[in-house]
């Protein structure tokens, strides 16, 4: 392969490997996320209190996964947690809906990080 052809091949390879379907979004509050249909599209379950703020999401459209964080006021935390299943790991909770599983991790300041993964139950 001659030198210009190698250069074109490498450039094409870089372009193709650099393309991904990862979308990052920021919402100042619950209402903005709701208006953008974040919950309806399934990236987060609609269990967040309406007072939730600073919602950050990174969605991988190829793999149907998501991760991010948000802030919940201390007075709303109990209501939020009552909808989740506690895990053995401290400050980690699980929520399951249809074919999706979210793992929520809490810190002391009211910040909640999450990860969404899709699963498919085995047919028996």
pTM value is 0.78
Q: What are phi and psi of 15, to 5 degrees?
A: -65, -45
Dump pLDDT digits (tens) for 105-114.
999 888 999 9
Q: Which residues contact 61 (CB under 8 A, 6 or more apart)?
A: 21, 22, 23
Ranges of each domain in the chain: 21-118
Dump pLDDT digits (tens) for 10-43.
666 555 555 568 899 999 999 999 999 999 999 9
């Amino acid at each position: 392969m001659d030198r210009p052809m190698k250069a074109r091949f490498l450039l094409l390879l870089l372009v193709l490997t650099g393309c991904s379907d990862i979308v990052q979004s920021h919402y100042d509050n619950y209402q903005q996320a709701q208006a953008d249909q974040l919950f309806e599209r399934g990236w987060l379950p609609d269990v967040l209190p309406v007072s939730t703020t600073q919602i950050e999401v990174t969605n991988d459209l190829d793999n149907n996964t998501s991760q991010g964080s948000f802030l919940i006021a201390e007075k709303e935390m109990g209501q939020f947690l009552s909808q989740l299943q506690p895990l053995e790991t401290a400050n980690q909770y699980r929520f399951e809906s249809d074919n999706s599983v979210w793992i929520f991790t809490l810190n002391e300041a009211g910040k909640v990080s999450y990860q969404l993964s899709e699963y498919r139950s085995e047919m028996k």
